[in-house]
A and B are shown apart, each in its own frame.
Chain A
Amino acid sequence: MKNRLKVLRAERDWSQAELAGRLDVSRQAVNAIETGKHDPSLPLAFRIARLFGLRIEDIFIDDGDTP
């Protein structure tokens, strides 16, 4: 699953640690999501969407690769 998290974070000039703290996850989790190595749970996806004031589908794009 692709996502726009890195772009959205950069637009706000936030570090990964800043975003991680705002989402109450580890910096490693933010990095894993940004690099597509970890798909967030639905509750975390909603937290991310709320934080950026967007809908989940505006941030995460299903590329049909996820089983």
Chain B
Amino acid sequence: MILRRPEGLGPGEVRSRQRARRQLAYLITAGAVGGVIGLITGAFDEGDGNLFAGNWAALALDPAVAILLAVLLAFGFVALPLYGFRTIDELKRAQSLIGFTGGVLAVLAGFPIWAVLHAGGLGAAPHPFGVWLLAFVGMGLSYLYALWRH
């Protein structure tokens, strides 16, 4: 159990458990931030907009709530990952870089492919949330591939 500290552990085991505890705290923080963002968005959305449908004009938030969400999103998508990058070891950094590369390639290739398919009458027009999802899913799948490979 990583939350307890049994007696008789070597110094390396103790440090490994500290590392595992830090990682657990990081994941809990990330999950909590995501949950709070989802909760606030769900509770304070005043419009009929839908991220998936792309009708952005119908999205409506109180300005103060919008600023709070923007700060939380910046924390969740910028501050936390950067902090994580500084604390992980070289293997996890390599895996994360494969993940980020997958996300970038998914957008670089995915957006023009989506656009030409739409131009050919196949599918809806590209919209911002869809492009964001391309990056997010591409990153997640690439990261899983990196985990599997290592």
Task: List chain A positions with a Cβ less than 8 A from chain B.
Answer: 14-15, 17-29, 32, 37-38, 40-41, 44
Task: Give B contacts to A, CB under 8 Å.
Answer: 10-17, 19, 88-92, 94, 149-150
Across the interface, which residues of A come within 8 angstroms of B94, CB to CB?
A: 38
A32, B14: Cα distance in complex, Å: 21
- In the complex the two chains form, what is the Cα distance from A24 to B15 in whole Å? 7
- Chain B residues contacting A32 (CB-CB under 8 Å) are 91, 150
- Known contacts A20-B19, A41-B90; 17 additional CB pairs below 8 A are A18-B10, A18-B12, A19-B12, A20-B15, A21-B13, A21-B19, A22-B12, A26-B16, A26-B19, A26-B92, A28-B91, A29-B89, A29-B92, A32-B91, A32-B150, A38-B91, A38-B94
Q: A28-B150, A32-B150 are in contact. Are A15 and B13 (CB under 8 A)?
A: yes
Q: Which residues of B contact A22 (CB under 8 A)?
A: 11-12, 15
Specify the main secondary structure of chain A where it touches its partner. Answer: helix
**Shortest distance in angstroms between B57's beta carbon and chain A's nearest beta carbon?**
46
Tell me which of A21, A38, A41, A44 contacts B16 (CB under 8 A): A21
